[in-house]
């Protein structure tokens, strides 16, 4: 149980095709019944954090709908709890800012009013289950000013040179840091998760704002590397970083791997999500399902292979669905054939429809489409 506030940036500048056209990345459906943000949010809750602010930028109505009052995370609290902190939009259109410094600065009042000693600031686009108690122990025992969380086996699409790379000495101290380096000096990818004292975070942000700076990694952390004791915590667990349609697809399918599933869905540290009161899934007389993850509320009459099926999906008789990600309430009518398709919510594929993508080019079907 740690005494920290959490801040989740739900909208970094990642666009994943039509999937994020009307929702922030953190609201992306994943793993059959979750949204991306569930992983970092549940990690915080399981570490005893009871004050979490979610900082959206644009298009956060699906995020608001998903998070609701925070009930499912037991964060519908009198003090703190879950708060969505929309950017202040004046009668002009200020407040959306240019970088994550601007977004955090815009919620300065919330940070100031919070009472926890520490603050954890994290992006919302990683699939992971991290125990922040360990991070806090590390932070305290290293007398760290700022602790950055990294991973050396990040499951990502983009090259190392697309990330922020840390150099770390044997005392866990960050000695160098490069944003999108041409020639990465290590494989230590910063997960955009940092822990520091709340007051200190606010001080850093205030200072950066005063200097007209915008990017936390580039303008704050990199510049302070030599002056502060910035330490790096090696998170050895599974991390899937969702930063492209490729990594979305791969990290989805990877959950079919038993070891990955066991790491992410540790019963002592459950991943919470919005409850939909779906019925158990029904299998018909001719159902045939292999190596797939099936959420509740589905009706399976046909064949499913190597796929992720979200809540409330209907798969008709003689339909064949392989290597697909089929989101909530989609309907695959009788006799359809689908291969390598990522299907957003509420899509209907009419009888005997065929949609065949390729592993290198999964087909994306937008929300609500009727094919």
Partner 1 sequence: MARTECVAMILAGGQGSRLGVLTDDLAKPAVPFGGKYRIIDFTLSNCTHSGITTVGVLTQYQPLDLNTYIGNGGPWDLDRNIGGVYVLPPYVRMKAGEWYKGTANAIYQNIPFIEKFDPEYVLVLSGDHIYKMDYTNMIRYHKKTGAAVTIAVMSVPWEEASRFGIMNTDETGRITEFQEKPAQPASNQASMGIYVFNWRDLKEYLIADEQDPSSDNDFGKNIIPNMLQNREEMFAFQFQGYWKDVGTIQSLWEANMDIIASPPVFNLHDNNWRIYSKNPIQPPHYVSSDAYIVNSCITEGCNIFGRVEHSVVSDGVTIEKGAIIKDCIIFPNVHIGEGAILEKTIVGQGTTIGKRVKSGIRESGDNPYASDLCSEGIVLIKGDITIDEDTEIYKNSMVRTYQRIGGGEV
HSE at residue 288, side-chain half, CA atoms within 13 A, is: 10
Distances (CA, A) of 161 to 100, 154, 157, 188, 247: 20, 13, 11, 11, 16
> Is residue 58 at the binding interface for its own copies, with CB under 8 A as the rule?
yes
> Is residue 69 at the binding interface for its own copies, with CB under 8 A as the rule?
yes
The 44-63 contact track toward partner 1, x by CB under 8 A, reads --x-----------------
Reduce the secondary structure of 250-277 to three states and give it as a string: HHHHHHHCHHHHHHHCCCCCCCCCCCCC
> Is residue 185 at the binding interface for its own copies, with CB under 8 A as the rule?
no
314-315/331-332 β-pairing: parallel
Chosen residue from 13, 212, 227, 277 binding partner 1 by CB under 8 A? 277
Task: With beta carbons less than 8 A apart as the criterion, state whether 123 and 8 touch.
Answer: yes
93 binds, among its own copies, partner 1, none (CB under 5 to 8 A by kind): its own copies
> Is residue 286 at the binding interface for partner 1, with CB under 8 A as the rule?
yes
**Exposed/middle/buried for 346, CB within 10 Å: 0-12, 13-18, 19+?**
middle
| Residue number, 189 or 293, with CB nearest to partner 1 | 293
For residues 96 and 47, give the distance between their C-alpha atoms in angstroms, rounded to a whole number.
31
Site size for its own copies, by CB under 8 A? 23
For residues 243 and 259, give the distance between their C-alpha atoms in angstroms, rounded to a whole number.
22
The 4-33 contact track toward its own copies, x by CB under 8 A, reads ------------------x-----------
For residues 263 and 44, give the distance between their C-alpha atoms in angstroms, rounded to a whole number.
16
Distances (CA, A) of 112 to 117, 199, 234, 363: 11, 8, 29, 46
259 binds, among its own copies, partner 1, none (CB under 5 to 8 A by kind): none
> Is residue 61 at the binding interface for its own copies, with CB under 8 A as the rule?
yes
236 binds, among its own copies, partner 1, none (CB under 5 to 8 A by kind): none
> Is residue 113 at the binding interface for partner 1, with CB under 8 A as the rule?
no
Chosen residue from 170, 171, 285, 360 binding partner 1 by CB under 8 A? 285
> Is residue 70 at the binding interface for partner 1, with CB under 8 A as the rule?
no
Chosen residue from 1, 143, 212, 277 binding its own copies by CB under 8 A? 277
For residues 260 and 268, give the distance between their C-alpha atoms in angstroms, rounded to a whole number.
16
> Is residue 352 at the binding interface for its own copies, with CB under 8 A as the rule?
no
Indicate the helix (H) or strand (E) that contains 209: helix 198-210
Structure tokens at 104: 């955090």
> Is residue 88 at the binding interface for its own copies, with CB under 8 A as the rule?
yes
The 229-248 contact track toward its own copies, x by CB under 8 A, reads --------------------
Binding site residues, its own copies, CB under 8 A: 22, 58-61, 64-65, 68-71, 76, 78, 83-86, 88-91, 93, 277
């Amino acid at each position: 149980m740690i005494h920290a506030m959490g801040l989740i940036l739900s909208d970094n500048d990642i666009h994943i095709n039509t999937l994020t056209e009307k929702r922030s990345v953190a609201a992306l459906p994943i793993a059959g019944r979750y949204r991306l943000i569930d992983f970092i949010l549940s990690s915080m809750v399981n570490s005893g954090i009871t004050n979490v602010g979610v900082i959206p930028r644009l298009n956060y109505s699906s995020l608001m709908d998903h998070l609701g009052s925070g009930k499912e995370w037991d964060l519908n609290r009198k003090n703190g709890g879950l708060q969505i902190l929309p950017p202040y939009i004046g009668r002009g259109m200020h407040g959306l800012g240019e970088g994550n410094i601007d977004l955090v600065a815009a919620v300065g009042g919330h940070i100031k009013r919070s009472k926890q000693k520490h603050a954890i600031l994290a992006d919302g686009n990683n699939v992971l289950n991290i125990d922040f108690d360990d991070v806090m122990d590390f932070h305290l025992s290293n007398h760290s000013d700022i602790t950055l969380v990294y991973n050396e086996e990040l499951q990502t699409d983009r090259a190392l040179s697309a990330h922020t790379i840390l150099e770390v000495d044997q005392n866990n101290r960050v000695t160098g840091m490069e944003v999108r380096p041409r020639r990465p000096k290590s494989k230590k990818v910063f997960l955009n998760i940092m822990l520091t004292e709340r007051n200190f975070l606010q001080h850093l942000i205030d200072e950066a704002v005063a200097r007209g700076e915008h990017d936390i990694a580039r303008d704050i952390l990199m510049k302070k590397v030599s002056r502060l004791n910035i330490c790096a915590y090696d998170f050895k667990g599974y991390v899937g970083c969702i930063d492209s349609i490729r990594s979305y697809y791969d990290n989805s399918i990877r959950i079919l791997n038993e070891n990955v599933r066991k790491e992410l869905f540790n019963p002592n540290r459950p991943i919470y999500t919005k409850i939909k009161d779906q019925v158990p899934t029904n299998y018909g007389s001719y159902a045939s399902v292999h190596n797939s993850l099936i959420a509740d509320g589905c009706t399976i009459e046909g064949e499913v292979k190597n796929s992720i099926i979200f809540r409330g999906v209907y798969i008709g008789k003689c339909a064949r669905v392989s290597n697909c990600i089929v989101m909530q309430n989609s309907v695959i009518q009788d006799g359809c054939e689908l291969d390598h398709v990522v299907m957003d919510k509420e899509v209907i594929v009419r009888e005997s429809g065929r949609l065949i993508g390729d592993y290198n080019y999964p087909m994306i079907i937008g929300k609500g489409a009727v094919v």
